[in-house]
Every structure is written in structure tokens, then in C-alpha cells.
Structure 1
Amino acid sequence: MDRTSLEHKARSLMSRIGAQQESLGSEVWISLTSQGRLEQEIARVGDALDSGEAMPLAGLFFAAKDNIDVAGFATTAAHPDFSHMPERSSAIVAALEQAGAIALGKTNMDQFATGLTGSRSPYGAVHSDTFPDRVSGGSSSGSAVSVAKNFVDFSLGTDTAGSGRVPAAFNHIYGFKPTCGVTVVEGVVPACESFDCVSVFAKDFATGSLVYRTLLDPKFPARGRGDEAAMAPIHRTRRLAVPREEDLASLSPIFREEFEKCLAGVQSHGYQLVPVDMTPFFESGKLLYEGALVAERYLAVGEFMEHHHEHADPSVEHIVLNAKEPPAYRYVREKDQLARRIKETLPLFSECEGLLVPTTGRHPTMSEVAAQPIAVNSELGLFTTFVNLLDMAGIAFPVASTAEGECGATLLVPALHDAEAIRIVAELADEQLPESDIEQGSVPILVFGAHRRGQALNSQLTQLQAQYLSTVSTAPHYVMGVMPGTGYPRVRLVEGEAGESITGELWNVPVNAFARFAQMVRQPLSIGPVELSDGRYVLGFLCGSVIPVEEMNISKLEDWLSYAEAAG
């Protein structure tokens, strides 16, 4: 896109916004760009394009939820007394602008990102674009509606309990919720900082996935691809987990029917559906508001709200100020409970490629929320609140417009498998990803010694574009020895009755590079099946049936790195 085209598109979008601004007031926008700022941004992007700079998002205009700093706009978090001018844009906005996107304004939201309805703002409640008598969903309400009304190409929200997914469902658009930590939260007003992330809304999958994939670029994330919290690899099983029949009891009859049609569509794409007990997920989700974890909301803005009651939303004020009460020991205990629950639910993804759930059970009216603001809000979070607590990523997508509002579904995957969610939803939506993003398949390889991170032969993996997945342990029947005379200590692993559980690293090797990697393996080593502590089998480095007498048996150390460190 050239400078002239940018100018023409900007005029068209601003004209569309202006035509509806009188009727909407501040329902969608808390602040809009000035003509001077817009011209400066168009000149910036135009100059970069003229110089040949790569700008994958050039030509795209966006909105940002008003708890995300954008230079030149005040940040209010939907509380007028909180308004301040940031010195610079948040890290994520700066990344998008560097890629060529241009901000048109800041959007309305549930105050301090506390809510899933879109009705908790002194700037006005936000209505669904397609069903004006029903809620827009929150807290990223204005951001979702700005996309649904075609004011912008995409928008930024935040998501702690479902705010990047519920508004997507209620406005018939896509919501991309990344792994916490992959999208940087520097310059974002926190809600519950441990569980906050920045999300992306788009009306079409192609635009949303382009922005999402741009933010997943290794230049931007705060949480590295080699994070120890990375989950075990998702196996291409063509199976998706879904809630059991009894776990869908909260859905209205119409939403239940539409979700069943959605599942039938998934099956038509060749996926097998595996019903799973959602109880551990639902119980985890309750901890965000009903437990001590809510204390993080007081930490974020509690002291401010203690002294600024005039413009406070009553429901938000109640939640934030009461969050001061839980004792510290409960907070620590619940953090520990979540860590254990993550380990308990993780095996699901060794059997299934993802978990498919309804985004919400129904689409409430504005009057229903006004009558029971807390109860309806809690109801809307049943299938969303547990996601960040259990360290998952997901994509919400539209299912159907019904007589009772908008119905949506969400595909969930473990942490750091965001690209898998993009791939699966693209397939279900019959969308074609760019060829450069289509993974040609990979093989998980278990390594124990010099191929591990920071060791002498690790470059043999990284040069083949292999990716570290996680640190794992074998079943407790392997013997580990060290081969002498190679210039550095090398490990050999054999099965043995008096063995131990040995620590190693799983790496994903691209299929088209696996043959080259296998050719580097020299006798007496070979590649064969190794049993992991969770019962799975993966390919790994093995050797003969015994450890020769002249070699050192280091099995009791259970980790080759312990031996290598001691050996200097």
C-alpha cells in the first residue's frame, strides 16, 4: 500500500466513525486521533515503505483498549480521574506501529478491566453490534465493537478472565488470546498482573491471524520459546477434547443446539471428539474471583479507588475494594493449587490437539445484566475464567447468530502452542494460512547429553531449526553411562532392570531435517523409542544393552548435566 492509498483509507474510516459518533457518543470511543497525529503516522509509514522497509501491517488501522498506553492519547482505564498522558506507547503498540499499523483511537471498556459484560463504564454501557438490546461483552467491549462496526481493521483488548473472547462471541468476530507473557504487558494498566495478556480482535480470520502471528515474532515476546513452563508437544492425533454432556448444562437450548452443529462441523473436518470432565477446569476458574487471587486487583488499583469514588462503577468498586481482605496464606495456597492443577490437566494434550468449548452459555440482555450484574458476569465466565489460570492460549470464533443473540466457540491449547491454535482454527474455518506459516510436520527427539541447550553439540539441533519443547524424565528403568575418549563427556543410555529415571530435553526436529540429523548419529549410539515417566514413547538416543566395564555408570545422578558440571 502506498501513501495515497493510506490517506484514502484513513479518510474513509474516519468518515465512517464520524457518521456514527453523534449517536454512539462515548459508547465505543473514549478518545479519537487528531488530524495532525493521523497525518504524522501516515507520513511515518509512507516514508518507511518508500525506503523499502518491511512493514507487514502497513495499511491496517487499529484501536486500543483504554488501559493500553498509546503515545498521544490519554489512558483512562474507563475512570476519568485516572486519566493521564503516557510518555510513550506500550511495548505491544510500539511493536505494531513498527510493523506499519496506525492507531485511530482508544476504546471504552469495563472499568479497570473488571467485568465480562461491557456495561461497567461511566462512559456508557456498550451494546452488541448485532443485537443492540444485548450486552457487548467485556471488559474489552469498545475494542470488539469498533471491529464489528468496521471502524478499524483490528483492535487490541486485554484478557484476564475472558475479555478477549466473550466480546468476540457477542459481536460475531474473532478473538485471539495468546499465552500469558507472549504479548508484552509493559505499558498496560494491570487487572490481575499474573494472569493478564493483550488480545487481538478482527472481523476476518486472515487479518487477525496476521496481527497475532506478528506479535508472536521472537523479537517481541517477554516469555521465550524455551520457557521451562512450555508444555509437552501437541501430537497431531486428529482428536479434539470437548466438554461432557453434563458440563454443557448451563447452555441455553438454542446455544446447545448451535454448539452441537459446531461439533458436527469439526467432525466433518476429520477430527474425533473426546468428551472430558470439565470439573477441574471449572473449579480452577472460580479461584480468580472467589478466592484470594482477586487480591491482585486491589494491588493494581485498590489504593486509587479508595480515594476516587465519584466515577467508580459500583460493581467494580465492590470487587476491587473487597479484594483487600483475603489473607496472604490463602493467596499462596491457591497459587500452589493452580500449579498442581496445570500438571493434572496437561496430559489431556498428549492425547488431543486442543480443547473446544462454548465461549459462553448464552447472550444476556442489557436488562438482565442491570438486574443481576455480579451473577450474570460470573455465569459468562464459566468457560473462560480458567484459561489464563491454567496457562492456556485460545482463539474464539463465531458460530451462529440466533434468535437469542450471538453464539461462539473457543479452541484452547497449552501455553506456547499459540501457532497450533492458529493452524487448527484456520482449518475449521476453511482459511488458508500463508505457505511460510504452514508447518510441514516435526519429530520430537529426546536428548540427554551434549545436544542439550548450552552444550557442545546443541548447534546440530539449532542449525536444523529444531525447537526446544520441555525438560522431561524417562521411566525409571534406564542406565546412563559416559563414554571416554571423545574430547568431551558423552552419554549413552540403555534399558536396565536396576535403572533410574533420567532427565533429558525434548526437541522438535522438522521432518524435512530429521534425516540429516539422524545421519550425524555415530555408533555405538542410535535413535530408538524411549519411554517417558508419563507412559508416552518418543524417539531418543539409545545404545547397546549393557554399559561396558570401562565406562562410568552415572545413573544415580539422574541428569548428565550434574556429571558434566562436576567434570568441569
Structure 2
Amino acid sequence: MDGALDLATLAHRYRTGSADPVGVAEEVLRRIAARGDDHVWITLRSAGDVLADAALLAAEATDRPPLYGVPFAVKDNVDVAGMPTTAACPGYAYIADRNAPLVDRLIAAGALLVGKTNLDQFATGLSGTRSPYGACESPLVPGLISGGSSSGSAVAVAAGLVSFAIGTDTAGSGRVPAALTGTVGVKPSRGLVSTLGVVPACASLDCPSVFATSVADGLAVLSVIAGTEPGDPWSRPFPAVPATAPPVGPLRIGVPREPEFFGDDAAAAAFEEAAGALARLGHRLVPVDLDPFVAAGRLLYEGPWVAERLAAFGGFAERHRDMVHPVTLKILDGGRQLTAVDAFEGYYRLRELRARTMREWASMDVLVVPTVPTTFTIGEMLADPIARNDMLGHYTKFTNLLDLAGLSVPAGMTAAGRPHGITLLGPAGSDALLAGVAASYPVPSAKAAGAAPRASNGSVSATRSPALASVPSPAPPGDGPVPVLAVVGAHRSGQPLHGELVGLGATPLGTALTAPRYHLYALDGAVPRAGLVRAAAGGVRVEVELYEIGAAALGTLLTMIAPPLGLGTLELDGGRYVHGFLCESYAAAGALDISAHGSWPGYLLSRLSPT
């Protein structure tokens, strides 16, 4: 089986018969066994059960659901029928008698459950080091924390053990691990995904989250688990989440006027470059005052919301103090002196701060912040667990208190060799908008120390991974060769002809959107291909992958392309020009127009979905 587990690759292989769910399950189990005791898992399903479920899926010849045969994991504070739920506290464990609704939705969509992952105990922490089952290490840098509390879920995806994983997010647990492992972390609007069957941390703030190797995969999973759930007091109605990211036009993106990095100059430089990449996509950067946001975040552990954790599991902690992690116990004890008056005063303070943040939202559509301001090794984290945990949450703790949606994407490695990520934030209900912005962000590959760089789809690439700053700014047509290639369909990562690019030494630079002047068509043939045609009038934005490729290699590629496709000059959103795959207009006459899907992977996913 090919190494990639992203949704588009699996869908293609299942459709063409080059893979089946049993073979994929066997490969996943081999990978897990090969990593040994990596502290990722608390409970794995038996190999027999996983393979039996895979065999049942393989027997389905028609009407394949949207996540058919896609392996996944869930954080071990989410109920799975017949399996223990520990919340990383063995003494707390119980056997769930039913699945959490989100698990039911995933299984109904054809996903294949592998097991339950490690976490900071009772989902209290952002470091991934507060678990009796061990501390998960980031796959990117030896000895680096993976982030928490959804540590095992993030590492399972980053290490290529599953296609996606479910986490939870109260203070940043679905975003901090994403930044530290080079994955995408989708933190939905509160109430968009049901929390029934999830052990609460702060019930009024909790929400499930998704870790994936790409924005496309994260959004596809979110579209399956989103929706109101009868009987869930925290469920809220929102517009349906699309399975593919919608194209977005230039937006006003807020940037902290005085960002805090706690002395990490390399992280500061990386964020400046990441914000610049958004500007190069055509967005307008707007300085904003982040003080009221940060002040709201402080209420989570310095205000009455600490007491809400007592309402969830404080009774157990008081009766079984010897079973609770010392740091978790210290945090809980801080809430025991709070009163009802404190709760109301905290609520009033939050409303005051929310009103101040609304003045900032009047000038922006989306807010971008560093996911974490700095990073720590496991040893550094254990030496000062509370203060450094607070630093990790500087840009995440306010999100749920202020009722925002969030999406974290990798932003490469800093000059100090540490992973960096950015988080896009928007008001509740803006999940699709955030995905649209993130899908066009040119995600650079994260290079693990001493290992081959990971490609943007999570597979391993043998080519170098340049920093975002090294991406050239292409000149207009006629001003000389452009060493950047836009790839539309069968040459994209995970697609049948991608090996041609790898063989030519092409280096992935992430994804981008074309200018809104194109139509996308599905072309018939032995290898299904996408045809991009510039429209005489009108048109839409289409997602493409960008690659750096040498001039000689580009010439070689031209001789390998079969008509009606060829290479030409392609305009990106924001006015940049690159070389790109284009289709002769005559071939579009009888072809299926798939422009509404926004991309070739989006179209392929739609063919698997009953809708």
C-alpha cells in the first residue's frame, strides 16, 4: 500500500481497486506495531476486531459512504461502546455502553476505528506531559513536547498511523498539539459538534476537534460529525458545513498589534513571515488590539471557570487524590475556594471583555494569531509545568470563552528548528470561511530533525522543504521563466501521476487559489484528469498545489504531458503568475464542469458521498 493515508489518496485507491480496507487496516496495524511504546495509545482495538470491520466494509461494492475505509482514532475522553473511557486516569475508567454520537456518525460514514489515544489527564493541560500513560513526543523534533491535551490524537496523525483523529478543545487542546506536530487542527464553533459521550472538562466551553494532514481532510471530517443532536443541552443549530472548502475573496485579516513570543525571536520571525504569506494571497492585514482577548483567556484558569472543572470530576479527585496527576490536582484545588459571587463577577467581566473585542471585530473578518508563542522540550515542561503551560495557551485560551471558531495550520519550522503554526479565528458559525482561507494558505512542509521532510499531505518526500520566505514572487508573463508550477489534478499529491513530479525533484510549496477566472472540468481517460480552462468571462477560484521545479525539469515535464493538457501561464488570486497545467478549450465542450467543487480532490470526494 502507498504510504499516504489522506482521504483523496484512499478514495482513489479504493475506487481503482489498488487497495481495499483490509489491506489498509493491516498496514495501519503494522505501523503502530513498528513504533512500539510511543505513548500514543491508551486502548487499541484488537487486530481481529479492526480487520473484521474492514472486511465488512470491503464487502460493500456500491453506495460507499464519504469516509469509506478511512482509519481514525479518538481521544480517550470520548465514549466508544464496549471500550474503557479513562480520561487518562486508570482509577476513573468505565466501560461505555454506547458510542458518543460523533463516533456513530463517523462509523456510519464508513470510517474505521483503530483505538483510543493518550491525553493530559481529564483534558486539563496543553503540554501532553500530564498522563500516567507517558508523555507523547512530537514526531518533528526529538524530545519536543507534542502539546496537549489531545496529544495522542495529534501524534497518531502526524506519525501516519491514522488518516484523522478526534480530540477535544477547551483551552486550546485541538490547536496546540496541531502546531507542535505539524498537523491541521480544526476547532469547531461551540455546539456545532455534540459533546454527548465526551467526559467534560468545562462543559460550557468544551467542543470536539479534528486533527488531519490537510485542511481538506479536516473539513470533510467536520462535515460528517457536525449537526444538532437531540438531548444535548449544548448543541446549537448552525448552517451545514460543506465537505470542501469554499473559495474566498480577499478579506480583512486582523494581526496582533504587539504580539507576545516570550523571548522566542525565531517564532516572532516565523509569524511575521506567515502573516506576510496571507498578505501575498491578497488579504489586507489589519493591526488589532489583542489585550481584551488575552484578558478574557486569563479568566479560564484565574477565574471561576476553574470551579467548573470541579463540577465535572472534582468529586472523584477529592475522594481519590492519590489517583490524580499532581499538577491536575493543584489546578483543581485552586477552584475550591471560589464562590457563587466569584462566578457572577467572572461572568460580568467576560461580558465586558467580549464587548471590547467586538469593537476589534468591526475592523476585521478573520483574526490570525500564532498557535503557540514558543515551544518547550519535555524536560523543560516538567521543570515548570504550570507557568509554561500558561505560555502555550496565550493565544488559545480565550477562543471558547469568546465563542469563536478556530483552525490551526502548520507554518513550517522556525530558524531555531522548532515547528510553528498559525491559527485563524472567526465568530461562531464562521467554520467554512476559516477553512476557505486556510485551504489557500501555502503550507510549507515541516522537516523533522534527522528525518526526511513530510510533504503537505502527510506523506514523506525525498526532496528538500524550503522555508516560505524562499518562495519567489513570480513576474508577470514575458518577464522570464517562473520556477513555480501550479498543479491541478492527476499530478497532485496522492494522485496517480504525482510520482512524475517527485521523480523530477519538484518541491511542494503548499496550496493556493487561482484568480476567479477559471473553470474546472473532469476529463475522461485511462487516468482521470482535471482540465483547467481560463474563462472568457466570469469564472471561479480553483485550488491548486504549488511546486518549485527547475527549468530543465519543467521542460522535461512538458514532453510528458498528454493532450489536451499542456503548460501555460496561470494567474493566482492576488495577481501572481506561475506556470501551470491548462486544458485546451475544445476538450471542455463535452466534459463535466466540476468548478463548483473548488478543486480536483473536492470533486473526487463528492463522488464518494451519497449527497
Match of residue 237 from structure 2:
224
Match of residue 532 from structure 1:
none
Instruction: Give secondary structure in 2 for the equivalent of 1:352.
Output: coil
**Please, which moves more after superposition, 281-290 or 307-316?**
307-316
Match of residue 172 from structure 1:
182
Q: Which of the residues 74, 89, 96 maps onto 1:64?
A: 74
Instruction: Give secondary structure in 2 for the equivalent of 1:187.
Output: coil
Equivalent position amino acid for 2:319 in 1 = H
Equivalent position amino acid for 1:162 in 2 = G
Give how far 1:404 is off.
Answer: 4.4
Deviations 1:360-384 (A, max 9, x none): 1111111211111110001111100
**Please, which moves more after superposition, 214-223 or 79-88?**
214-223
- Do 1:155 and 1:201's aligned partners in 2 also have CA atoms closer than 8 Å? yes
1:240 aligns with 2:253: yes
- Do 2:167 and 2:173's aligned partners in 1 also have CA atoms closer than 8 Å? yes
**Whole-angstrom CA distance in 2 between matches of 1:162 and 1:417:** 18
| Cα 1:61/1:160, change in 2 over 3 Å | same
Give how far 1:145 is off.
Answer: 0.5
Equivalent position amino acid for 1:417 in 2 = S
Deviations 1:488-521 (A, max 9, x none): xxxxxxxxxxxxxxxxxxxxxxxx9xxxxxxxxx
Deviations 1:515-550 (A, max 9, x none): xxxxxxxxxxxxxxxxxxxxxxxxxxxxxxxxxxxx
Q: Which of the residues 21, 25, 33 maps onto 1:10?
A: 25
1:373 aligns with 2:401: no
Aligned pairs for 1:214-363 (under 5 A) are 214-216=224-226, 222-225=235-238, 238-244=251-257, 246-250=258-262, 252-363=264-375
- Do 2:267 and 2:373's aligned partners in 1 also have CA atoms closer than 8 Å? yes
Instruction: Give secondary structure in 2 for the equivalent of 1:333.
Output: helix
**Whole-angstrom CA distance in 2 between matches of 1:365 and 1:172:** 16
**Whole-angstrom CA distance in 1 between matches of 2:70 and 2:355:** 40
Instruction: Give secondary structure in 1 for the equivalent of 2:27.
Output: helix
**Whole-angstrom CA distance in 2 between matches of 1:305 and 1:184:** 26
Match of residue 110 from structure 2:
100
Match of residue 415 from structure 1:
428
Question: Which runs of no fewer than 5 residues in structure 1 stay unpaired?
Answer: 228-234, 442-511, 513-568
TM-score by length of 1: 0.71
| Cα 1:339/1:53, change in 2 over 3 Å | farther
Give how far 1:286 is off.
Answer: 0.3
- Do 1:179 and 1:392's aligned partners in 2 also have CA atoms closer than 8 Å? yes
Instruction: Give secondary structure in 1 for the equivalent of 2:116.
Output: strand
| Cα 1:53/1:323, change in 2 over 3 Å | farther
Deviations 1:31-65 (A, max 9, x none): 11112321342244345x43x44511112111111
Instruction: Give secondary structure in 2 for the equivalent of 1:393.
Output: strand
Deviations 1:217-274 (A, max 9, x none): 56899310279xxxxxxx9662100001x33353510000111111111111011110
Match of residue 525 from structure 1:
none
1:34 aligns with 2:46: yes
- Do 1:122 and 1:312's aligned partners in 2 also have CA atoms closer than 8 Å? no
| Cα 1:296/1:219, change in 2 over 3 Å | closer
- Do 2:71 and 2:111's aligned partners in 1 also have CA atoms closer than 8 Å? yes
Equivalent position amino acid for 1:277 in 2 = D
1:208 aligns with 2:218: yes
Match of residue 119 from structure 2:
109
Count of residue pairs brought into register by the alignment: 427
**Whole-angstrom CA distance in 1 between matches of 2:344 and 2:113:** 40
Aligned pairs for 1:388-427 (under 5 A) are 388-402=400-414, 403-427=416-440
Equivalent position amino acid for 2:252 in 1 = R
- Do 2:251 and 2:366's aligned partners in 1 also have CA atoms closer than 8 Å? no
**Whole-angstrom CA distance in 1 between matches of 2:207 and 2:512:** 26
| Cα 1:54/1:6, change in 2 over 3 Å | closer
- Do 2:182 and 2:421's aligned partners in 1 also have CA atoms closer than 8 Å? yes
**Whole-angstrom CA distance in 2 between matches of 1:278 and 1:129:** 32
Deviations 1:409-438 (A, max 9, x none): 100010011111111111224257999xxx
Deviations 1:137-191 (A, max 9, x none): 0000011001111000000110000000000000011100001111100000000
Deviations 1:288-347 (A, max 9, x none): 000111111111000001122333210001112332221111112222332343333234
Match of residue 562 from structure 2:
none
Give how far 1:206 is off.
Answer: 2.3
Deviations 1:464-495 (A, max 9, x none): xxxxxxxxxxxxxxxxxxxxxxxxxxxxxxxx
Equivalent position amino acid for 2:152 in 1 = G
- Do 1:28 and 1:142's aligned partners in 2 also have CA atoms closer than 8 Å? yes
Question: Which runs of no fewer than 5 residues in structure 2 stay unpaired?
Answer: 1-13, 241-247, 443-510, 521-538, 542-595, 597-611
Give how far 1:359 is off.
Answer: 0.7
Root-mean-square deviation (Å): 2.6
**Whole-angstrom CA distance in 1 between matches of 2:254 and 2:199:** 34
**Whole-angstrom CA distance in 1 between matches of 2:249 and 2:75:** 36
**Whole-angstrom CA distance in 2 between matches of 1:316 and 1:304:** 12
Q: Which is higher, the Rg of structure 1 or of structure 2?
A: 1
- Do 1:144 and 1:155's aligned partners in 2 also have CA atoms closer than 8 Å? yes
- Do 1:28 and 1:145's aligned partners in 2 also have CA atoms closer than 8 Å? yes
- Do 1:173 and 1:201's aligned partners in 2 also have CA atoms closer than 8 Å? yes
**Whole-angstrom CA distance in 1 between matches of 2:70 and 2:177:** 21
Equivalent position amino acid for 2:270 in 1 = E
Percent identical = 40
1 or 2 for the larger relative contact order (CA 8 Å, sep ≥6)?
2
Equivalent position amino acid for 2:95 in 1 = M
Match of residue 87 from structure 1:
97
| Cα 1:64/1:226, change in 2 over 3 Å | closer
- Do 1:342 and 1:391's aligned partners in 2 also have CA atoms closer than 8 Å? no
**Whole-angstrom CA distance in 2 between matches of 1:6 and 1:45:** 7
